[in-house]
Homo-oligomer: A and B are copies of this chain.
Amino acid sequence: MITPEEALARISSNVGPLPARTAPLSDAEGCVLSASLAARLDLPSFDNSAMDGYAVRASDLAGASREAPVSLRLCGEAPAGSPASVAVAAGEALRILTGAPVPEGADAVVMQEKTERVGDAVLFYATPSAGANIRPRGEDVKAQAPLLAAGSTLRPYEIGLLASQGIAEVEVIPRPTAAVLATGSEIAPPGTPLAAGKIYNSNGPALGAALRRWGVAVRDLGSAPDDPVAMASALRPAVGTCDLLLVAGGVSVGDYDYTRSVFQEFGFEEVFYKVAVKPGKPLLFGRIQAPEGGCATWVFGLPGNPLSALVSLEEFVRPAIERMRGVTLVQPSYHLRGRALNAYPLPKDRQQFLFCRARPDGDGFALEVIRPQGSAMSKMATGANALAVARLGMGVVREGDLLPFRWLK
């Protein structure tokens, strides 16, 4: 049994980013850029007006104010979308719209609200400084300069920046594909009557929902009974054709050797088995090497109890997915802290994840630890909005203890 920190370290050191691929910008949101990009264009690519107003020579308006307006001759109009055609001479003002190129001769824009049109003249009620309301060429981006570094996650802000450079395709690390199999002779598919001793397959749907939310394409392999032949035949189509294979159930003490032997038929190399967490101890992780013409597949054997499976997915599989996606986590997880409103007993040898109801409380948060909680209590978990951590060796949660937590969104 290893600590959760050790498990995360082994995941991190073993799993690397998937090979890069070209994607249209419209499909790249949330992906990581695989190579640094330099700017193709200055941004803005020409001096332009930040306001609707008038382009002028600032020196013409020295001393202009509400009390002592200065009048200039209107010499034309500069709409957005066309090159500036008219130059502004001394004593002249050009009507200009937001985003339009600043005409030759002008060195400032006065916003419309500080002017008044009187026939062919414009009265100015304010003195602009040189450069006022002009966005100079290259202010935000200079052509050839670094635009975005390899490893950047493409948020809507990055997508916008790339589009503004006329970039329609990017080299990114793709989203992983995953296959999910629920195992156990007790598992029945939905839509069938439930025979004695059977339960419905809830791990497949729940794990699939979480994976899809993280941008992973999911293949649902359904369920297989506790039978090596059936299990191997359910897994076979996924080996070499998906990046990640999740098998829920069949990894507790009694089943482990048997599940492992099924995996080994496909060339499984184990990285770890058993992590000191509750829920979730019997967690199996390793790799199936790429078959000829296929891809390598990372394999997680998840515990079969529904909450053990989901918490293991969020705590251990998700970091593996983030490694595959090339994501650099800027933010430590569990950086929020809350005060326990009630006591809760803890296991001696495992870190416990606690389902809680969290709410803001003064400058921080209060955590009601839900009692009782168990790894098969699916309904209990739907009443929680937060998952707190009681670290190994804490012994017991006492009322008032400060616990790290994350939101269950």
Contact = CB atoms under 8 A, between A and B. Distances in A.
Interface of A: 25-26, 29-30, 41, 43-46, 50, 52, 79-84, 97-101, 112-113, 135, 139-141, 147-148, 152, 154-168, 184-187, 190-192, 194-210, 212-213, 220, 225-226, 252-254, 304-306, 310, 330-332, 335, 360, 374, 376-382, 384-385, 407-409
Contact of A99 (B52, B184, B213): B184
Contact of A164 (B164, B202, B225): B202
Contact of A185 (B79, B155, B306, B408): B79
A37 to B, nearest CB: 11
Contacts of A158: 382
A185 B113 CA distance: 23
B186 A83 contact: no
A194 B226 contact: no
A29 B82 contact: no
Nearest to A212: B29
Contacts of A163: 190, 200-202, 204-206
B160 A83 contact: no
Contacts of A408: 155, 157
Given A30-B213, A378-B164, A45 B141 contact: no
Given A140-B379, A161-B382, A254 B112 contact: yes
Pairs of residues from A and B, 5 with the lowest C-beta to C-beta distance, nearest first: A81-B185, A160-B206, A83-B196, A81-B186, A164-B202
A332 B306 contact: no
Contact of A26 (B186, B205, B377, B407): B205
A206 B157 contact: yes
Given A310-B156, A378-B43, A166 B185 contact: no
B374 A135 contact: yes
A229 B294 CA distance: 53
A98 B157 contact: no
A327 to B, nearest CB: 11
A222 to B, nearest CB: 12
Nearest to A135: B376
Given A160-B310, A163-B206, A46 B81 contact: no
Nearest to A203: B160
Given A310-B156, A378-B157, A197 B164 contact: no
A306 B164 contact: yes
A165 B199 CA distance: 9
Nearest to A78: B197
Most chain-B Cβ atoms within 10 A of its Cβ — which of A192, A205, A210? Answer: A205
A202 B253 contact: no
B157 A43 contact: no
A267 to B, nearest CB: 28
Contacts of A155: 209, 382, 408-409
Contacts of A210: 29, 156
Contact of A82 (B25, B83, B97, B197): B197
A199 B97 CA distance: 15
A260 to B, nearest CB: 16
Query: Residue among A30, A80, A140, A165 with the most chain B CB within 10 A?
Result: A80
A331 B407 contact: yes
B101 A197 contact: yes
Contacts of A161: 202, 378-379, 381-382
A199 B99 contact: yes
A50 B185 contact: no
A168 B191 CA distance: 7
A213 B212 CA distance: 12
B140 A380 contact: yes
A184 B306 CA distance: 53
A82 to B, nearest CB: 5
